[in-house]
Amino acid sequence: MLGGLMQDDFQLTLHHPLHRMRSVHPHAEVITLADGGIVRASYGEIAARVDRLARALGRLGVKPGDRVGTFAWNNQRHFELYMAVPCVGAVLHTLNIRLFAEQLNYIVNHAKDEVIFVDESLVPLLSQLAGTFEGVRHYVVMGDPANLGDGDLSALPGAVGYEELLAGVDDGPFDYPHVDERQAAALCYTSGTTGNPKGVLYSHRSISLHSTASLMTDALGLSRTDKSLVVVPMFHVNAWGIPHASALAGADLLLPDRFLQAEPLATLIEAERPSIMACVPTIYADLLRYADEHGSDLSSIKNAACGGSAVPRELMRAYEERHGVNVFQAWGMTETSPVATYSRPEETGVHDDAYWDARAKQGKPIPWVEARLIDDNGDEVAWDGESTGELEVRGPWIVAHYYSDESGEDRFDDGWLRTGDIAAIDEQAFVQITDRSKDVIKSGGEWISSVELENEVMAHPDVIEAAVIAKPDEKWAERPLCCVVKREGCSLSAEDLIEHLRPRVARWWLPDEFAFVPEVPKTSVGKFDKKVLRAHLQEGTLQGRVRISA
C-alpha cells in the first residue's frame, strides 16, 4: 500500500470544538431560559468554566473511562458537562429523566455511573431513586447557590453544589489529557418499550463526524450565523447532536431548560428569534395550536428540524402556509447518533401535492450513511418506492455493538444495523418509513402502513392525535383500529373520519373501528406508546370505541 502523506493522526476529538469555542468563536452565546429570566454566557466564558469543571472532575476522582451521569434539562451547565466530561477522557452518561424508576435504576447500575450531576429542580425526583444506585460516589447539584437550600443537598448522600465545586478549583487553562478518537465520549440508553434499555456508546470520532455532517446544507445545515432553539432533550441522543455541532460551528444555542410548553416556547421565540428549532412532532403540534390562537410570530425560524416519529404532512404544510416556517423531517435512532436521513426535496418553487408527498418521506441518507432494505428471506429489496423491507444502515456514527449487552447482537447483520423499521426507498433514494416492524398490520396477507394511515387521519382539521394499532380479526387476521384525540368541543364522528379517508386510502385500509381517547399514551421520549394501547385493547379497557358497520 502506498500510504497517504497527510496528518491522518490528527485526532477527531471534542478537544477541537472546545478549542474553537475558546479561540475562534468566543462571542457566540449559550442562552438559557431560567426561573428568573434569560441567562447568557459567551462561548469564551463557557470554555473557561469548562476548564474549571475539568479540574473539579479530577478533584472528584473522575478518571478516564469513568461514567459521569447527568440528570438534567437543556441548560448551560448541562452543556458545560457535554464538553468537560469527554475532554478529560471520561464518558458522559445522559440519563433520561422520564424513564420509570426500575429502568433508571437499571441503566445507572449497568453503566456503573460514579458521579451524577443533577438539576436542582430534579433533586426531588432523583433523591427517591438514589438508594438503589450501587456505585454512585458523588452527587453534584446544579443550581443557583442562592436558591440551593441545605435540603436540596442533604437529600442526596455526599452532595455538593456545582458552583461551589467550580469556585473551589483554580482558574486558568487546563492541560487536557490526550484522548484517542476511538475512545468513548458519551453513553445514551435506548428508550425501547420492551426489554431492558440498551447502551449506545458514542466515540469522540463518531460525535465529531456526526457534528460535521450536521453542518452540511443537505442535513441540518447549521452555520455560525444560526441560533438553535434545542427543545429535543439533551438526555435523548445528545439532543440530536446539536450542542456538539453548535460548538463546532460557533452557532448560538438557545436552551429552554424545563419550560417546554407552547406558551413559554412561543414567548422565547419572539424574544430571541432563533433561526433553527429542533423537536418532536407533538411539541410542534402544540406550538402550532398556540401560535394560531395567539398570533405568535414564529417567522425567525427558517429551519425547523423534526423527527423521532413520522411528521404529519399537514403539520409541515400548516407551519409553512400560516407561519412561514419550514419544518424538515429527519429520521434516526439513538443507535444512529441520531441523524441518518434528511428530507429536503429539490426546491422547484411549486409546493404541490407531489412536493408535499416527498416532504412527508423521511428523506435521503446523508453523506457517510448507507442504507438498504432487506426482505424476510434476507434478500435486498429494490428501490422502487413501493417494495418494502427492513431498513438497515451503516456508517461511521452508527452503533456496531451495544454496551456490555450481548442480547442485542441479533440487531446486527454483517456490519449493518437492523433498525426494526419497515421502509420503502424510491428511485431518488428517498426513504419512507411505513412502520415499526412490531407495529405493522397484516390484513388478509397484505400490509397496511399504520404510519401512512395516521398521517391521513391527522390531516383532518379536528384531529389532534391519531395512533393506529392492529386489532385481531377472525377473517382477516388483523384489521386497523384507529385511536383518535379530537379537538375539544368538536362533533367529529367515526363516519366523518371514514368519509375523510375514503378518497385518501385504499378501501381495505379503512379502519374497522375508532377509539376516541382523551390522550394517546407516550413513551419517555414523546412517541406514541402503541404497546399501552394494545394492552388496553386486549384488557377491554380501551375507551370510546366506535365500530364501523360494514
Interacting residue ranges for ligand AMP, rule: CB under 6 A: 190-191, 237, 307-311, 329, 331-334, 338, 362, 419-421, 433, 436, 525
Distances (CA, A) of 379 to 137, 385, 392, 417: 50, 17, 12, 15
- Burial readout 183-195 (b: 16 or more C-beta within 10 A, e: otherwise): bbbbbbbbbeeee
Between 332 and 511, CB nearer to ligand AMP: 332
CA angle 495, 499, 505 (to 5 degrees): 125
Count CB-CB contacts under 10 A for residue 410.
Answer: 8
Given 190, 212, 282, 523, the catalytic residue:
190
The CB-of-391 to ligand AMP minimum distance in angstroms stands at: 8
Residue 421 bridge partners (DSSP): 436
Task: For residues 118 and 70, give the distance between their C-alpha atoms in angstroms, rounded to a whole number.
Answer: 6
- Please give the single-letter amino acid code of residue 301: I
Given 438, 446, 447, 495, the catalytic residue:
447
Between 76 and 337, CB nearer to ligand AMP: 337
Task: Map residue 548 onto helix, strand or coil.
Answer: coil
Q: Which long-range contacts (CB under 8 A, 24 or more apart) does 456-461 make?
A: 456/500, 456/501, 456/504, 456/505, 457/482, 457/484, 457/497, 457/500, 457/501, 458/312, 458/314, 458/315, 459/312, 459/313, 459/314, 459/500, 459/504, 460/492, 460/496, 460/497, 460/500, 461/487
Annotated catalytic residue 406 = no
Task: For residues 173 and 342, give the distance between their C-alpha atoms in angstroms, rounded to a whole number.
Answer: 39
Between 286 and 454, CB nearer to ligand AMP: 454
- CA-wise closest residue to 431 among 376, 368, 373: 373
Between 49 and 236, CB nearer to ligand AMP: 236
Residue 435 bridge partners (DSSP): 422
Between 246 and 334, CB nearer to ligand AMP: 334
The CB-of-500 to ligand AMP minimum distance in angstroms stands at: 22
The CB-of-5 to ligand AMP minimum distance in angstroms stands at: 41
Q: Are 441 and 478 in contact (CB under 8 A)?
A: yes
Output DSSP code: residue 170. Answer: -
Task: For residues 242 and 10, give the distance between their C-alpha atoms in angstroms, rounded to a whole number.
Answer: 23
Handedness of CA 154, 155, 159, 165 (dihedral sign): negative
Annotated catalytic residue 94 = no
Task: For residues 117 and 127, give the distance between their C-alpha atoms in angstroms, rounded to a whole number.
Answer: 12
The CB-of-19 to ligand AMP minimum distance in angstroms stands at: 30
The CB-of-51 to ligand AMP minimum distance in angstroms stands at: 33
Centroid of chain to Cα 161: 29
Between 103 and 419, CB nearer to ligand AMP: 419
- Locate all alpha helices (DSSP H) within 112-149, ordered by sequence: 123-127
The CB-of-347 to ligand AMP minimum distance in angstroms stands at: 20
Distances (CA, A) of 330 to 165, 280, 338: 39, 10, 9
Given 63, 217, 321, 442, the catalytic residue:
442
Given 120, 335, 452, 456, the catalytic residue:
335
Burial class for 481, CB neighbours closer than 10 Å (0-12, 13-18, 19+): buried
Among all chains, which residue has been given the C-alpha cell 451524577? 116
Pairing state between β 159-161 and 138-142 = parallel
Largest Cα separation within the chain, whole Å, is 76
The CB-of-484 to ligand AMP minimum distance in angstroms stands at: 19
Annotated catalytic residue 263 = no
Annotated catalytic residue 190 = yes
Residue 391 bridge partners (DSSP): 373
Handedness of CA 238, 357, 314, 268 (dihedral sign): positive
Between 253 and 311, CB nearer to ligand AMP: 311
Task: For residues 233 and 174, give the distance between their C-alpha atoms in angstroms, rounded to a whole number.
Answer: 29
Residue nearest to ligand AMP (CB): 334
The CB-of-14 to ligand AMP minimum distance in angstroms stands at: 22
The CB-of-281 to ligand AMP minimum distance in angstroms stands at: 8
Between 433 and 457, CB nearer to ligand AMP: 433
The CB-of-470 to ligand AMP minimum distance in angstroms stands at: 16
Between 216 and 440, CB nearer to ligand AMP: 440
The CB-of-306 to ligand AMP minimum distance in angstroms stands at: 7
Handedness of CA 133, 139, 141, 146 (dihedral sign): positive
- CA-wise closest residue to 301 among 268, 258, 348, 343: 268
Between 191 and 212, CB nearer to ligand AMP: 191
Active-site positions read 190, 335, 442, 447
